[in-house]
Amino acid sequence: MKVVLVGSGAREHAIAEQLSKSSSLYSIMEKKHPGIASLSQEVLICNPADKETVVSWCKEKGIDLAFVSPDGLLEKGVTDILASAGIKAASPSRQAARIEWDKGYARTLLHNHKVPGLPAFKVVGNADEASAFLAQHKEVVVKPLGLTGGKGVRVMGEHLHSEEDVLNYVSELLKKDKQALLEEKLDGEEFSLQAFSDGERLSVMPPVQDHKRAFVNDAGPNTGGMGSYSTGRLLPFMELKDLEGAKSIMQQTIGAMRAEGNPFRGVLYGGFMITKDGVKLIEYNARFGDPEAMNVLMVLRTQLSGILQSIADGSLIPVAFSPNCTVVKYLVPEGYPENGKKDCKVSIDSKAVWECGGKTFFGSVYEEAGEIYTTSSRAVAVAAQDASLERAEGKAECCTRAVHGPLWHRPDIGTPPLISKRTEHMRRLKR
Ligand code: AMP
Ligand code: GLY
């Protein structure tokens, strides 16, 4: 089977690795990604939303199945472009991906279909509406409605320190987008649940915990995600009922979308928080998480190409994972997230990575004349698995020392002190 993967980054590098095991991989990307290119039969470098170029190349190559990965390209309707040329896809249409690119749509859909787990929210169009919401809720979170690469959310008490700060940020967003989303601030522990869906059925992957804050101990601005870990079926701070609650919210969402004539086919990602009042939904993504994709794909036992084929056919097959623990850490350029230093040379000592017992995935880097350079975004992910979380973390940390360049990472991700902090936080909340 010939599968085309659209998009490039560490998440797509992990997807490409899996697809290349069981199908002939073709890929479309904007700039040459060294990792994906080396796994592909052929690569098309172009603007992936350029309909004519993409369609004629896919037809010429005889592509059987497509997977469009990144949020930006799903919003641009690249799945629809391929579908219009008769190429089956295992990723959502532009309309289905709206669950991610329009936070207002996601919340209204769940509200209308009485899906539980939504925090109190209001889409505001002026400062008075924002003040009224602030009067009802002591602490709030402010979000842009559209895609921001994970960087637009500001939380009271962390990034916003007064009502004035909130109103200033709301007014900044109103100037740009005319609308902003205000949400009650929740307290709890977060986890990501990714699931394959054929539009009707849902098959969940192991839950993962990402680390969105830039710096050690969860300080600093939100990022695309600095690293993540998973521990098989449940995370250390999680109970079975939390997982079941999240699964049920996602299943009901799939049902609501189907009922509205907007079926979701692809990977649905729920960002959840376990609070003292149960599981709450913070966001939906219409794709694999990045870095979370690497955690789950490392332990995937079913062939990914078979799963994607079954999604495209509307008859999802059973999916299995090994119960190992996984740790992923991102090495990011100096100045990330505000001002990541571009065009700096990066190199990887592959032998040292192998000796550490882990692996690396290239993120937002590009290759020129055989050398690898940074962009302003997350550069290289290191990943490892083991039966013990401590050992998986040790392997991943070892791999960070095999990646050379002006990069930094969060050494605390997946370590016992940070895990204890999380379980203790949960215990305190549930008391
Ligand atoms: P998002 O991009 O919506 O996932 O938000 C980024 C981060 O902001 C989340 O991972 C949370 O840490 C935080 N956040 C978002 N919404 C809320 C909320 N309602 N209450 C508390 N924290 C939140
Ligand atoms: N890791 C969060 C995301 O992929 O949006």
Q: What is the pLDDT of residues 205-222, one digit of tens each?
A: 999 999 999 999 999 988
Residues 101-138: tens digit of each pLDDT:
999 999 999 999 999 999 999 999 999 999 999 999 98
Does one domain contain both 292 and 275?
yes
Residue 379 sits in the same domain as residue 248: yes
Distance of CA 322 to the CA centre of its chain: 21
Within a domain: 101: no
Q: Does the beta carbon of 285 lie inside 6 Å of ligand 2? A: yes
Instruction: Clarify whether residues 199 and 170 are in a common domain.
Output: no
Ligand of minimum distance to the alpha carbon of 208: 2
Q: Does any domain span residue 103?
A: no
What is the percent of the chain with per-residue pLDDT over 70, rounded to a whole number? 100
Q: What would the mean pLDDT of 262-282 be, rounded to a whole number?
A: 97
CATH number at residue 401: 3.30.470.20
The pLDDT, as a whole number, for residue 58 is 97
**Do residues 177 and 211 both lie within one domain?**
no
Q: Does residue 2 surpass a pLDDT of 70?
A: yes
Evaluate whether residue 108 is within a structural domain.
Answer: no
* Listed residues 129, 155, 184: the one ending a domain: 184
pLDDT at residue 147 above 90? no
- The total number of structural domains in the chain stands at 3
Residue 104 lies in a domain: no
Q: Which domain holds residue 320?
A: 189-421
Residue in the block written with tokens 């592909």: 40
pLDDT per residue as tens digits for the range 150-185: 678 899 998 899 999 999 999 999 999 899 999 999
Q: How far is CA 60 from CA 24, 31, 55, in A?
A: 15, 21, 9
Q: What is the reported pTM?
A: 0.95
Q: How confident is the model at residue 230 (pLDDT cuts 50, 70, 90)?
A: very high
> Mean of the pLDDT values across residues 217-240?
95
Are 169 and 203 members of one domain?
no
Q: Give mean pLDDT, residues 6-23.
A: 97
Q: What percent of the chain has pLDDT over 90?
A: 94
CATH of the domain at 142: 3.30.1490.20
Same structural domain, 299 and 344? yes
Q: Which ligand lies nearest to the CA atom of residue 378 in the structure?
A: 2
- Of the residues 133, 167, 184, which one is the last residue of a structural domain? 184
Pick the atom of ligand 1 nearest to 187's CA. Answer: 21
Q: Is 225 in the pocket of ligand 2 (CB under 6 A)?
A: yes
**Could you tell me the distance, in angstroms and rounded to a whole number, from the CA of residue 192 to the centre of ligand 1?**
12
pLDDT tens column, 68-82: 999 999 999 999 999
Q: What is the pLDDT of residue 151?
A: 74
Residue 210 lies in a domain: yes
Residue at 100 is within a domain? no
363 and 379 in a common domain: yes
What does the mean pLDDT of the chain come to?
A: 96
Which has the closest alpha carbon to 90: 110, 115, 65, 122?
A: 65
Indicate whether 325 and 256 sit together in one domain: yes
- Residue 10 belongs to domain with CATH number: 3.40.50.20
Closest CA to 279 of 244, 251, 231: 244
Check whether residue 236 and residue 151 sit in a common domain.
no
Mean of pLDDT values over 49-78: 97
Confidence category of residue 365, pLDDT binned at 50, 70, 90: very high
Query: Which pLDDT score, from 0 to 100, does residue 92 have?
Result: 98
Instruction: Tell me if 413 sits within 8 A of 211, measured CB to CB.
Output: yes
Q: Which of 273, 274, 425, 429 to mutate to test the pocket of ligand 1 (most atoms within 8 A of CB)?
A: 273
Tell me: the pLDDT tens digits for 273-308? 999 999 999 999 999 999 999 999 999 999 999 999
Among 161, 184, 207, the domain boundary falls at 184
pLDDT tens-digit series, residues 414-431:
999 999 999 999 999 988
Type of residue at 235: L
Ligand positioned closest to the Cα atom of 287: 2
pLDDT at position 150: 67
Q: Are residues 219 and 152 in the same domain?
A: no
> What's the per-residue H, E or C state across the chain?
CEEEEECCCHHHHHHHHHHHHHCEEEEEECCCCHHHHHHCCEEEECCCCCHHHHHHHHHHHCCCEEEECCHHHHHCCHHHHHHHCCCEECCCCCCCCHHHHCHHHHHHHHHHCCCCCCCCEEEECCHHHHHHHHHHCCCEEEECCCCCCCCCCEEECCCECCHHHHHHHHHHHHHHHCCEEEEECCCCEEEEEEEEEECCCEEECCCEEECCEEEHHHEEEECCCCEEEEECCCCCCCCHHHHHHHHHHHHHHHHHHHHCCCCCEEEEEEEEEEECCEEEEEEEECCCCCCHHHHHHHCECCCHHHHHHHHHHCCCCCCCECCCEEEEEEEEECCCCCCCCCCCEEEECHHHHHHHCCEEEECCEEEECCEEEECCCCCEEEEEEECCHHHHHHHHHHHHCCEECCEECCCCCCCHHHHHHHHHHHHHHHC
Query: What separation in Å is there between the alpha carbon of 56 and the centre of ligand 2?
Result: 32
Q: Is the CB of 292 under 6 A from ligand 2?
A: yes
Of 142, 155, 185, 189, which is best to mutate to test ligand 1, by the most ligand atoms within 8 angstroms of its C-beta? 155
Identify whether residues 178 and 209 lie together within a single domain. Answer: no
Residue of the CA atom closest to atom 5 of ligand 2 = 289
pLDDT of residue 138: 84
Closest atom of ligand 2 to 225 CA is: 1
Same domain for 347 and 257?
yes
Query: Is residue 115, in this structure, part of any structural domain at all?
Result: no
Place of tokens 């190409």: 305
Q: Does residue 429 belong to any structural domain of this protein? A: no
What was the pLDDT predicted at 148? 79
